Amino acid sequence: MSENQAWKQVSMIVDGDKAEEISEILFGLGAVSVTYQDAKDDPILEPLPGEQRMWPTTQVIGLFEKGYDTAPVISYLQHVYGDNFPMVAHDLEDKDWVRAWMDNFKPIKCGKRLWICPSWCKVDESDAITVMLDPGLAFGTGTHPTTFLCLRFLDGLESQGALSGKQVLDYGCGSGILAIAALKLGATEAFGVDIDPQALIASKDNAERNNVVDKLKLFDGGDKRIPKCPVVVANILAGPLAELEPNIAALCEQGGKLALSGILESQLDEVIAAYENDFTIDSTDVLEGWGLITATRK
Ligand SMILES: C[S@@+](CC[C@H](N)C(=O)[O-])C[C@H]1O[C@@H](n2cnc3c(N)ncnc32)[C@H](O)[C@@H]1O
């Protein structure tokens, strides 16, 4: 490909509080899109709905049309920011980005029978229980270790005959993946709770796609009508999980099973401490630095 036919990118590593200002400059100089990335592996864990937080060190990448002359863009940015922020211009390889993105998502087996499968793929195992789910705006595609751990917990309950015919509460439902998986595994009814309206929309859409929408009821986090259930899963974060303990304990039937995730391995003890008055801790599991706690309601 000749240089002039390539898409052009200008990339800068900047302090987070400068990212939006630089984005505006890039758009002003002709960028067709601007992307932010974490430049130093400082994950932003669960911003609140509508909240936009920037990483302390952010990579800002402006994308320009094929053949665009980015030399004036670089010289303008250097004029404004001097040597404060490293910047570089380069060509972007021309490939089928939709195909490349789709190739990132493959069916995932979570336990013995449960699979999470993107709509453009197929699972060939005869006894597979499949949740069809495409990546979207709400958290939960099965690729994150915390979701995977919760899915494997649900699959394990099904294997022990402890899920079929039960009601399941998915506290912090995101895409609805856990509630939908529970229904596919034989739960009679599932309840999804989230504080993010976008998550409730995504959960409903995903339940429709999986033909279980009539068995899924959705609630805003503050709703007082959420019913008590014999199985509860909550994949949030350690801090909110500890704070939510009284709500979660009140929503779990005596003898009911609980799975908590979204907890870093180093935070397992603090979450156990918050739950052990009301629950007997059954096990902990860790995957890629993320923990799962399973427990039984006293
Ligand atoms: C990590 S995602 C988990 C999504 C999905 N259940 C999964 O396992 O992939 C956590 C979800 O919890 C929601 N959440 C955070 N705090 C909450 C709260 N206090 N009450 C209810 N939902 C909450 C977030 O909006 C987000 O959708």
The partner residues of 33 in beta bridges, in order of sequence, read 63
- State if residue 147 touches ligand 1 by the CB under 6 angstroms criterion: yes
Quick one: tokens of 86?
């490293």
- What does the pLDDT read at residue 153? 98
- Domain chopping of the chain, boundaries: 3-94, 142-297
Report the DSSP pairing between strands 7-15 and 57-64. Answer: antiparallel
278 CB burial (10 A radius; 0-12, 13-18, 19+): middle
The residue count of the chain comes to 298
Answer yes or no: is the C-beta of 172 below 6 A from any ligand 1 atom.
yes
**C-alpha of residue 191 to centroid of ligand 1, in Å:** 13
Which amino acid is located at 129 in the chain?
A: I
Test site for ligand 1: of 114, 131, 134, 139, most ligand atoms within 8 A of the Cβ: 139
Q: What confidence score (pLDDT) does residue 44 get?
A: 64
Looking at residue 1, its pLDDT comes to 47
Residues 180, 108: Cα–Cα separation, whole Å: 15
Those residues of the chain that have pLDDT short of 70 are 1-4, 43-51, 137-138
pLDDT at 101: 72
State pTM to two decimals.
Answer: 0.82
Condensed to tens digits (0 to 9), the pLDDT of residues 104-159 reads 788 999 999 999 999 889 999 999 999 999 887 667 787 899 999 999 999 999 99
CA distances from 129 to 124, 155, 186 (A): 11, 9, 10
Cβ neighbours of residue 296 closer than 8 Å, sequence gap 6 or more:
255, 256, 257, 258, 279, 280, 282
Instruction: Determine the pLDDT at residue 189.
Output: 98
Index of the ligand 1 atom closest to the CA of residue 144: 9
Q: For ligand 1, is residue 58 a contact (CB within 6 Å)?
A: no
Q: Is the CB of 194 under 6 A from ligand 1?
A: yes
CATH architecture under which domain 3-94 falls: 2-Layer Sandwich (3.30)
The Cα-based distances of 198 to 117, 170, 176, 202, 292 in angstroms read 22, 16, 11, 6, 25
| Cα 198 to ligand 1 centre (Å) | 11
CATH 3.40.50.150 applies to domain 142-297: yes
Among protein residues, the one with the nearest Cα to ligand 1's atom 24 is 172
Ligand 1 pocket member 173 (CB < 6 A): yes
